[in-house]
Copies of this chain bind each other. A is one copy, B any other.
Amino acid sequence: MKFYDCRTAPSPRRVRIFMAEKDIEIPSVQVDLRNREQLTPAFRKINPYCTVPVLELDDGTCIRSSVGIQRYLEERFPEPPLLGRTPEEKGRISDLQWRIETDGFFAAAEMLRNTAQGMKGRALTGPVDYAQIPELAARGRKRMEVFLQDLEPLASNAEPYLCGKSFSVADIDGMIVVDFARRLHLEIDGVATRTWYEKVAARPSADA
């Protein structure tokens, strides 16, 4: 297997932490997003959607989303489970992961990509150029504020993790969105959010 990574991007970190929790080591290749290596013909052969992370399996199959890679790795390396043990846990974790991605990651990306100077004409990832839309940057900020508000009751009910007694992918993805928010200079006001965040960010895997 081969893992296409970029140390500075939030999405591949979702997979790196997932692998660290399972103590999996896979040879990795750094893709230089700053110099737009993802748009080169060579990388498009790996991923025509021009994004990282990508996991290339030994038969050449490429899995091109964090969610897909995490699911594959969970099945190949079940211990410790990060996507749940029982049907109910699996459903709840998948549900919360979807929520964190849709309301958190995508909102943060909306804010960043419609604002950053270096992302002019690159308001979405992928092979097609899309212009920045200032109103969308403002909407992304508002959505992130709402996401952080909504996170507070979830963190407040954590026992002690977002989906119960066991650390899960929801904690990984949630922590990365909080880091993304900090990078965007948003305040993390919620007391329960901060307590939960400090716990998960203190795990050795957070450095991955």
Contact = CB atoms under 8 A, between A and B. Distances in A.
A61 interface: yes
Nearest to A127: B146
Given A133-B135, A139-B133, A91 B64 contact: no
Contacts of A2: none
A57 interface: yes
B75 A92 contact: no
Interface string A70-98: 01110110000000001110111011101
A106 B142 CA distance: 19
Given A128-B142, A142-B128, A75 B91 contact: yes
A67 B169 CA distance: 15
29 contacts: A49-B99, A57-B88, A61-B88, A61-B92, A63-B91, A63-B95, A64-B95, A64-B99, A65-B95, A65-B98, A65-B99, A68-B91, A68-B94, A68-B95, A69-B91, A69-B95, A71-B90, A71-B91, A71-B94, A71-B95, A72-B92, A73-B91, A75-B90, A75-B91, A106-B106, A128-B143, A133-B133, A133-B136, A135-B135
